[in-house]
Structure 1
Amino acid sequence: MMDLEYAKESFRQYLNHYDRSDDKIMLKEVHTFCVLDAADYICREEKISKEDHELALLIALLHDIGRFEQLKTFHSYDDNLFDHAEFGVKVLFEDGMIRQFIRDDRYDPIIRTAIACHSLYEIPKEVEGRELLHCRIIRDADKLDNFRVKDTEKAEAIFGISAEQVGLEPVSENILNAIREHRCIRRGERTTHMDMWISYLAFIFDLNFPSSFLYIKNQDYMNRNIDRIPYGNPKTKADMEEVRSICNIYIEEKIY
């Protein structure tokens, strides 16, 4: 079986290879444990079996293990420069580090698939069964904490410019159409910083569990995230009110 405390201690030892005083490294360390908490919440609310609950927490702990080398090398979250999920799979399974976190190898295919798929635009259609369950749990947990990060992180850290500057930019019509179509937004579709901001809100269209939508509602993350930016552009302000309405209605519909 799994020993999560043993895995956590091994994870902390792994992080000692990196500069944990670096803001980006610290953010990802905090994110990891918040995703673990979000996965725990989903498993409890959805009444996931004890074995799969424990496995989901281990996957949450390891899902971003590739981020730390990415940040050390590039000081950037840009997966066009470095695919952190792919590198995480390499570190854990090709380099054999997975045995430092769990001695039993029977769960390896599930862990590998969940980590490999956690940041893809969508889960590949061939993924099914328990692998699909764990892909859905980690993707939801990751997105739930992304709303927390966007609620607390400074605009300059997210965009490289001030919130006031972001709010002066327009929203591209294709981005608005994606929201109207209830779908996530690909990186290549984004033109402005506002487009990027809306793409984070659109994560709700990839959530899988009613409890995930309830979490967003209870934390009021949709409204709080939208209200963080001062929309100095009147057209942008109007567009964001449309985004708010569509997203909040969608959340309500998915809870029940």
Structure 2
Amino acid sequence: MQNNQLIRLKAWFKAYTHSFLTGDTQTDSPLVLKIAHTARVCDNMCLLGRSVDLTDGQMCLAETVGLFHDLGRFEQYRRFRTFNDRQSANHARLSIDVLNQTAVLETLAADEKTTIIDAIRFHNAPALPGDQPPAGTVFMRLIRDADKLDIWKVFADYCRHHQRPEPAIVQHLADLPRWEENIVKAIVEKRMARFQDMRSLNDFKLLQLSWVFDLNYPETFRQAKKRGDLAAIARSLPEDRILRQVIGIISNRLDEAVFTRPES
């Protein structure tokens, strides 16, 4: 893939996403957040891509995956007024629908288009399929890591400033002094928690912390540690013995991954 193709796709993305904006600050706020999120995910894709020595053409492909991974969010919010996939539609599938309906990828090579579509299709899946070729899997893993890094940043910024999160971002979950046992159990067992188990804002925070068990690249762990977003989210949780144990498990996982040298 060539850089001039990426430039064209970025221009198309800007025109498409801005067509959803109404000019009303409150109405547009969730969509403006998604536009900014996309830009940072693209930056993360470049950072992580360089860490695994992608070629120039592969870097353009990686950034395109980042550019379009949440494309369906805009139609989702206009149609359903939520970013909650369980209450509306799978935003990855919506993203692919938009790409197919607009034919914006038609100038790319067939294998490049397939790589982009497949990476978007699985970027929000509970797990990656086991039957994918390694050449495509790398982009699936990159987008899952790049997306998590920025989702942590967005939510951690609310926590740092003691601000109420944008309701659409936290799926309209209530800020209750409780947390679900299944969410805690998942972290204790060192696995990702499930979206369907969330009942409160604390569950949302814990679920995000559990994502450390689904990271793929050493640079992702290093960035997660360096940026401090997970620590900020953890500090915003209530003071409780069980939650301290959970936070300790998350912190240990991060430290182990950062300070363990890969085998040569």
Question: What amino acid maps onto 2:245 in structure 1?
Answer: E
Q: Whole-Å Cα distance in 1 between the matches of residues 200 and 152 of structure 2?
A: 20
Spell out structure 1 runs of 4+ moving beyond 6 A.
Answer: none
The percent identity for this pair of structures is 26
> CA contact under 8 A between 1:114 and 1:135: conserved in structure 2?
yes
State the shift of 1:51 in Å. 2.3
SS at match of 1:243: helix
Question: What amino acid maps onto 2:65 in structure 1?
Answer: I
Matches within 5 A, 1:45-84: 45-80=51-86, 81-84=88-91
Residue of structure 2 in register with 1:221 after alignment: 229
Residue of structure 2 in register with 1:18 after alignment: 20
Matches within 5 A, 1:204-219: 204-219=212-227
Question: What amino acid maps onto 1:193 in structure 2?
Answer: L
Match for 1:9 among 8, 11, 16? 11
Q: Whole-Å Cα distance in 2 between the matches of residues 250 and 180 of structure 1?
A: 11
Matches within 5 A, 1:69-148: 69-80=75-86, 81-99=88-106, 103-148=108-153
RMSD of aligned alpha carbons: 1.9
CA shift digits 1:84-113 (9 cap, x unpaired) = 1101111112542323xx544430111110
SS at match of 1:182: coil
Q: Whole-Å Cα distance in 2 between the matches of residues 194 and 16 of structure 1?
A: 33
State the shift of 1:141 in Å. 0.3
Unmatched 5+ stretches in structure 1: none
Q: Whole-Å Cα distance in 2 between the matches of residues 207 and 105 of structure 1?
A: 29
SS at match of 1:97: coil
Higher relative contact order (CA 8 A, sep 6+): 1
> CA contact under 8 A between 2:69 and 2:95: conserved in structure 1?
yes
Structure 2 residue 209 is the aligned partner of structure 1 residue 201: yes
Alignment: residue pair count: 245
CA shift digits 1:196-245 (9 cap, x unpaired) = 2200111111110010000010011221111134x2xx5xx222211221
Identify if the C-alpha distance between structure 1 residues 29 and 118 changes in structure 2 by more than 3 Å, giving closer, same or farther: same
CA shift digits 1:45-90 (9 cap, x unpaired) = 2222322222111110111111110111112001121111101111
Unmatched 5+ stretches in structure 2: none
Question: What amino acid maps onto 2:95 in structure 1?
Answer: G
